[in-house]
Amino acid sequence: MGYKFETEHLTLPKNLDRRRKLSDEDKDIIKQLYMVGTSIRQISRNFEHKCTRRNIQFILFPERLTGYSGKWKLYKPSKEKRAEIQREYRQYKYNLYKQNKLKGQADE
- CA atoms of 70 and 54, how far apart (whole Å): 15
- CA atoms of 31 and 102, how far apart (whole Å): 30
Decide if 56 contacts 28 (C-beta within 8 A). Answer: no
Grouping H, G, I as helix, E, B as strand and the rest as coil, residue 14 is: coil
pLDDT tens for each residue of 26-81: 999 999 999 999 999 999 998 888 888 888 998 998 887 776 655 555 667 788 88
Greatest Cα pair distance in the chain: 53
Which residues on neighbouring strands pair with residue 103, listed in sequence order?
11
Q: What pLDDT is stored for residue 35 in this prediction?
A: 95
Q: How far is CA 53 from the centre of its chain?
A: 15
Q: How confident is the model at residue 92 (pLDDT cuts 50, 70, 90)?
A: confident
Domain ranges of the chain: 4-98
What is the tally of helices (H) and strands (E) in the chain? 5, 0
Q: What pLDDT is stored for residue 75 in this prediction?
A: 64
59 Cβ contact list (under 8 Å, min separation 6): 22, 27, 30, 31
Q: What pLDDT is stored for residue 106 in this prediction?
A: 45
pTM for the predicted model, two decimal places: 0.58
Grouping H, G, I as helix, E, B as strand and the rest as coil, residue 30 is: helix
